[in-house]
Structure 1
Amino acid sequence: MILGLWMALVLVLAGLWLTRPLWRRAAPRTQARKRANVVAYQTRVAEIEADLAAAVLDVESARQLRDEAGARLLHDADTVAAVDAAAAAPPRHLRWTLAVIVLLALASGLFYWRSDSWRTRDLIALAQSDPAAAQRQMIDGMVAKLETHLHAEPADAEGWAMLGRSYVVLQRFADAAKAYARANALTVEQPHADWLVAAGASLGMASDGHDLKPGRALFEQALTLEPGNAEALWYGGLAALQSGDYGAAYAEWLKLRGQDLPDDIREVLEQHLPELAAKAGQTLPPATALAAAAPAAAANGVSLIVHVRISDALKAQIKPGMTLLVFAKAATGPPMPLAVQRIDTPTLPLTVTLDDSEAMMPAMKMSGFANWVITARLTASGGAQALSGDLEGSHPVARADAGQPLDLVIDRQLP
């Protein structure tokens, strides 16, 4: 801000210096020259009268000479006025200089606006006070630009995939599924496994029950392209588990087990693979070193006691009939909630408990993870998808915090 003011001051001073002939007052020369011409005329008339009195001139000649002197006086007066007017007018190059200065000022202001410098300044200030809101605002800006670009270039498959990823970050899963569908439709001859998986996962997340079954064909198509695709194996196993196809779920998760995985995901696999192997009539190969940790964690279980309240600044935004969703997600791992509590027409503050009994899938429980992010969202739609105008608050939680009261404040409104 200070730098911008200094630049504006320098521009003004430069403009004043270059245009000083335009605002400096010209010397009053017109009146002096007019007085000199009048004195010369009076002197000439006196000479004519003297010659007439001395009989050097006759009456007619004297009249003609006086008329000539008067005509010359008028002509000189017009000439003086024209010369002074020309001198007072700004030189042509100064007019061009003034025009260039005005154009530079306009161009600088336009560049400042188009380059989003003022938005960047506001975004930096917001990031210092609310990093999550700043990140969301930055993504919203990127999404708006992408949407404009894709409106003009609808055949840009990479652009549609990028838009889908952005929608996932914003938890606009239905829009993400549509964007990925456009990207996949444009690459039918050379499909991308990652885009197919993302489309299927977005379809599942867009449903209230996080039903991955509609996307199972997309996961299978991705595995045909890349048999070792970790995300396709993970989501394909979940979709098969939801469908009751334990043999397919076991086969895909067994392949996934051999890959380099985050600890949380590996714990989930080691916890559920023995049960899947038994249901599929298979013999589970020897477990990894982490296998012993998962059953212990599952046996102990976890419970999060969440005290939900709303900030004073947002109390006026609560509308009748809103629904409160309180859910926990893995800090690193799958995006679907591990446990969810739904309260219709809540009265805040209130306290809820999240544990494995609220798991949305048998294979995806809180006890299978060590770190979570808990979120409370007030929504007028009643659906699981975050929408503009919803009121929300989030807080990271570690396993060491389990069983202790946790304070969760709803402190922001989604744009």
Structure 2
Amino acid sequence: MLFWIIAAALVAVIALLFALALLRGHAQDDMAPAAAYDVQVYRDQLKDLERDIERGVVSAEEGARAKLEISRRMLEADRKAQAGSDLARAPKGATMALIAAGIVLFGGAVGLYLRMGAEGYQDKPIAQRMAEANKLYDTRPSQAEAEKTAKERQLETPKVDPQYAALLERLRAAVAKNPDDPKGLELLARNEAVIGNFDAAWKAQQRLIAVKGDAATAADYAQQGELMIVAAGGLISPEAEKVLATALKKDPKNGLSLYYVGLMMAQNGRGDRAFRIWDGLLRNSEQSDPWVPLIEQNINELAWLAGENDYTPPMPRGAGPSQADIAAASDMSPEARQQMIRGMVDKLNDRLAQQGGTAEEWARLISSLRMIGELDRADAVYAEAKGKFAARPADLARIEAAHAAPAGKALEDAGAAPGAGAGPEAGLPGPSAQQMQDAASMTPEQRQQMIQGMVDGLFDRLTTEGGTPAEWARLITSLATLGETERAKEAWGEAQQALADNPDALAQVQLAAQQAGVAQ
């Protein structure tokens, strides 16, 4: 009812404005036009001029010239008045036609709304939306129903090369003869998918998993789930969901399964949950992973559904230094290593300036700039990042922790090898100049052994004597880079106890632990 009251009030106001405009136009029609008024003014000027000539105020010669000019203007004004008199009043027929058109348009709009509109449609509370999403999830078609619908919608059957079809028939016969041959089942699943026979493909993959038993990997289950989804026309059925769940049980970080679970959430009205899953997956994916471009195309819309109005998609890990880059840094001279680090820092700086990035990336840039001694640039980036993340307290805390950390907090933030200094000027509590010089003459194995010894020594000292937040952070990231995740977790636990009474210091170490993947 409120809708109709508001709509009627708006129509009444608009109609009143139109009526006033028409009445004002008729009122102006009855007034003398501006040109006619000008004619009268010029006549008065001529009379005044005659009196001035008689009194001798104006000479006869000047008066003649003025009369000529005033007469010329009066004639022009009279011409305009005569020409405008025929157009001054709008035809009554046109006015009536305008009113009739307005009535027809208004009546047509009301009729169209009553026929096609959603009269009485109410707002949906969150609880109701969730209930509808759950109903949509619970009433999904089964795998068989979805595949049947997909086949009905298929426009044409893919054509298969006769030679390829003959080879596939031989493969099918071989697998039928020896149904427990893993290699044959693997080939059959792959080739059935090639010709678009996805139903047979996922069933062959299912048989392969049964043959493998406990040896079946998360990737095996994820592949079966994907084949089932494609066979169902893109819909994720309850059966496919169970297969994906098994894959994630074996490997919670399986990217293909996480992508399809997020897609399933989006299909069933839970874009908010899809966003959380895809955002986390994007942060832990390589640039070359096949699901990355698909997520990047859709995640901004999901972010809006999840209430993230100021969301910037994170860059995949392939956009930064790889483990190979880090390993290669240990074989470089200090000068070459410093140059490599500076190049990576500049590259990160350019990308964030042009495309933006996550709070973690801004924090890494700030700490990297401080590490290589460019404190002014670090301060400028810090000021820019504060503006970008002012409305996000958690992200802002990471930015501030990176800026508050001692210069050169963590070499690994810029992709250098643990224990490998950026040079004496960086001010790191790490290897001395003499150690750096000695390392340059070592073999890679000797240098790795030296690095391991330095990390072990730092671990022993910090766990027995304690140390600064920067040292704890460097120890955790170094252990993680060396692949010693359990020791990194142990170091994080020790740091929490050692710095329990210093929240600011603990926040610095927590940032390093999060980047190393050993803390939430």
Structure with the largest fraction of strand: 1
For normalisation by structure 1, the TM-score amounts to 0.33
Which is higher, the Rg of structure 1 or of structure 2? 1
Q: Which has the higher contact order (CA 8 A, sep 6+)?
A: 1
